Amino acid sequence: MARVAVGGTFDPFHDGHKALLEKACELSRSGELLVGLTSDKMASNKTHEIGDYHSRYDAVMRFILSRGKTPVIVKLDDPYGPTINSDFDYLVVSPETHKMALKINSIRREKGMKEIEIVLVDYVLADDGLPISSTRVKRGEIDEHGRVIKRIR
């Protein structure tokens, strides 16, 4: 049974997040799915306002439960969470978080632990061909499904 980890802030919850979580659900099948969810304190470093932890928790939990999976969601107060101390088979990441996954494996090697297999989920593109991102949704450029709301020049 696979142990799968994925992490993020997940706000606003958009189709790119859904693709990441879908892959994590697929890989974990009958195994364990651990979602590291950025704490409010850690999220306060973001460039845009972030929804509170409980709202983000509920959105992630509802989505994963709708896929027939019950995740373990843990609060992240640092960029690594349990991935540097616990064994996982897969770490599901986006291009945005790939460097952090490499850092996690570097720390694991230094500790004499086996590396976690990194599974990279590519960006989901909006209708304008650019990646769907929380920043773009917050700016009002696109909605959470990647539909263009206002064109940027």
Give the domain ranges of the chain: 3-126
Whether the per-residue pLDDT at 47 is higher than 80: the answer is: no
pLDDT of residue 43: 85
Residue with the two structure tokens 């632990």: 113
Superfamily in which the 3-126 domain is placed by CATH:
HUPs (3.40.50.620)
Integer Cα distance of 76 and 31 in angstroms: 21
- DSSP E strand boundaries for 9-98: 32-38, 72-76, 90-93
pTM for the model:
0.93
Q: What is the pLDDT of residues 65-90, one digit of tens each?
A: 999 999 999 999 999 999 999 999 99
Residue with the two structure tokens 């790939």: 98
CA dist 1 → 23, 27, 30 (Å): 16, 10, 6
